[in-house]
Every structure is written in C-alpha cells, then in structure tokens.
Amino acid sequence: MKTFMICLLLLSNSLVTTDKTAEAILGEWMSPEKDAHILIYKKNTRFYGKIVWGSGNEQKDIHNPNPKLRNRDLIGLIILNDFEYSSSNTWSNGTIYDPREGKTYSCKMNLESADRLKIRGYVGISLFGRTETWTRIK
C-alpha cells in the first residue's frame, strides 16, 4: 500500500510538471517582420493564437479565398488552431492561417527558449514548408 501511494504521488507530480511545461508557450509573441503581435492562449486542452496588434495598412482579411470573409478584421483573427502539447517543448497537430496569402497550413511549434518560438508551416510533410521565429513580448 505504501508503494502504491508513493507511485501515485510521483505520477501526479509529473502530470503537474507536464502541464506547466505545456503552458510555457502562453503569452504574446511578435512576428519576425515585427508587424504583428499574436496572443497564444489555452482553451480546454488545446492551444490557439490570435492577432492582437498589427502595424500594416491591411487591416482586413483581403486574401481569404472565401469572398464572404475578406471583410473581416485581422485584429482578433485566430490564426493558430488546435495545437496539442506533444513533448520536449513541441506543440503539434495544429494549423496556421497566413493572412498574407489567405492559406491554411499544417503547423508545429517548438519553444527554443523562454523568448524564442519556432513556427513551422507546411503542406503534407514538414519537409515542405517554411519556418519563422517569433519573439516573446515582455
């Protein structure tokens, strides 16, 4: 019984540690071009990101392939969807919407350090894609 309680305690401790690690991505990030701030947040067990600030002249989603969505504001637009924490500071199985092109890509994210987030958008396999590094806003 004592061994069971120790195992249960260790297991619960590792779950709390994993949750804290998974939430390390939360906060506001700046795009490499320094023209947008993206707020990454958690909803239930998934991670999302929305544009909260933009410096460019284009403030509408004019490149969206759906004409009905081209008039929506970029500020408040959710561009990161449905990410799961995998392991080792990696979030995967999500998508990223690129408002500059009006396209959605498969995506994975890797937290290189507390202030640097690598975002890899791709089609099919991650070999065919583009990587950006976002910087945390303090």
> Across residues 4-20, what is the average pLDDT?
44
Measure the CA–CA gap between 46 and 110, rounded to whole angstroms. Answer: 15
pLDDT digits (tens, 9 = 90+) for 94-138: 999 999 999 999 999 999 999 999 999 999 888 889 999 999 998
> Across residues 31-41, what is the average pLDDT?
97
More confident residue, 88 or 4: 88
Both tokens of 89, joined, read: 């500071």
Measure the CA–CA gap between 18 and 42, rounded to whole angstroms. Answer: 14
Above 60 in pLDDT, residue 73? yes
> Across residues 56-66, what is the average pLDDT?
90
Above 90 in pLDDT, residue 5? no
Measure the CA–CA gap between 98 and 107, rounded to whole angstroms. Answer: 11
Q: What are the residue ranges spanned by the domains of the chain?
A: 25-136
Look-up of token digits 């709390």 = 16
> Across residues 38-44, what is the average pLDDT?
98
Of 2.60.120.310, 2.40.50.140, 2.40.128.520, 3.40.50.720, which CATH number belongs to 25-136?
Answer: 2.40.128.520
Contacts of 117 (CB under 8 A, 6+ apart): 25, 29, 109, 110, 111, 133, 134, 135, 136
More confident residue, 114 or 55: 114
Count CA atoms closer than 13 A to 105's CA, side-chain side. 22
User: pTM, whole model, 2 decimals?
Assistant: 0.84
pLDDT at residue 2 in the model: 54
Q: Would you list the DSSP string of 42-81?
A: EETTEEEEEEEEE-SS--B-TT-SSGGGTTSBSTT-EEEE
Start-to-end CA span in the chain (Å)? 47
pLDDT at residue 20 in the model: 76
Tell me the percentage of the chain whose pLDDT exceeds 90.
76
